[in-house]
Chain A
Amino acid sequence: QKEVEQNSGPLSVPEGAIASLNCTYSDRGSQSFFWYRQYSGKSPELIMSIYSNGDKEDGRFTAQLNKASQYVSLLIRDSQPSDSATYLCAGAYNTDKLIFGTGTRLQVFP
């Protein structure tokens, strides 16, 4: 059974702080990882993709992948109240199957 695990939260951080979201996966065969943001009542929105070990930065977001530890993380710098949402981690198996975690709810308070 391929699984992606996340802490459901909520993770509460003050405005301006760094939010750190974590994800582990069970299958070493997974090749690609994604972070989606989902606002309440809305559909998931792709915010980051990462395919190789190390860090990938895009604006205030940094994704980190460690395949040896089967660990993926997302850092959000200078967190804003508008970042409050559920963040879904997903791993890709083969090229056409995404497995999602349950998501971590992030709350950024002013």
Chain B
Amino acid sequence: GQQVMQIPQYQHVQEGEDFTTYCNSSTTLSNIQWYKQRPGGHPVFLIQLVKSGEVKKQKRLTFQFGEAKKNSSLHITATQTTDVGTYFCAGQEYGNKLVFGAGTILRVKS
């Protein structure tokens, strides 16, 4: 069945450093979503990517969808302590259910 792999599992950065998490699917996706979960909280939707090669920005966050629609990345520029949490990608095959990656835990040291 469809699998979504996410790396790294864990990243600890100094405040001000950049951070990137990568997501890879075993199959071609119709769309990919990104969620953020603060410690002790619930996942909150960040963005959805649909088009091949799409790049979207939200302030310091940049999201990319690969040309083959099988991989995606989330890059945070100049991390802040408010960025701490777990970032999940979730891929959806055409006509199929959403499959979540295992998540990347981000810790920011001030």
Please say whether chains A and B are actual partners in one complex.
no
